[in-house]
A and B are shown apart, each in its own frame.
Chain A
């Protein structure tokens, strides 16, 4: 199993640009989670999906952030327009039904907004 795959691993962009982060969960996992990690705020849950349906997006910081899961094997997190305070490491994680406590994390995308 390849594990959770995220792309790109690193992204550097300028303020105001659109950024799209991608995630491929582990095959057969029904839950998908997006997290953001910064030194100041630690690890924050942004949104999670169950069977491709968004269940809780209360952690999404503002309307500039959006997430989609068009099918069971792909999800995107989009920031438009990006701002320097969005600089962080963004993690995607997945878990199977019945074991939502055991989340498998991807390697993360390090985003830098200049």
Chain B
């Protein structure tokens, strides 16, 4: 079945550091891929998405590229800020499915 594996946290970085959170997936067909973010005390919200191979999703300085050959969708940001501290979820939706499969989440903490 479809599944998502993301790097375990917590991840702690200093402000302005480069961020990578790894995500790989297993799926049949051509799934859509997402990153959701959860700020403290809030629900999840969509950060970015990509719907086909080689697409790059981007938002708020974050980027992720849909790599079918490596079944990966790694999240990157060139210079993190304290306000980026949150839990990040990689997710996928199968081409014929209505529900999203979420990864286990990666907690990110940014030191001033």
Pick 8 A–B contacts, CB within 8 A, sort by A: A33-B99, A42-B102, A43-B44, A101-B34, A101-B93, A102-B46, A103-B46, A105-B43
- B interface residue numbers (CB < 8 A to A): 32, 34, 41-46, 49, 89, 93, 98-100, 102, 104-105
Asked if A101 meets B45 with Cβ closer than 8 Å, knowing A31-B98, A42-B105, the reply is: no
Q: Which residues of B contact A102 (CB under 8 A)?
A: 46, 49
Which of B34, B93, B99, B105 makes the CB contact (< 8 A) with A48? B99
A: number of interface residues (CB 8 Å): 21
Please state if A91 and B43 are interface contacts (CB–CB under 8 Å).
yes
Are A55 and B98 within 8 A (Cβ)? yes
For the A-B complex with A42-B102, A55-B98, A100-B100 known, give 12 more contacts whose Cβ atoms are closer than 8 Å. Answer: A43-B89, A43-B102, A43-B105, A45-B100, A93-B43, A100-B99, A101-B100, A102-B46, A102-B49, A103-B44, A105-B43, A106-B43
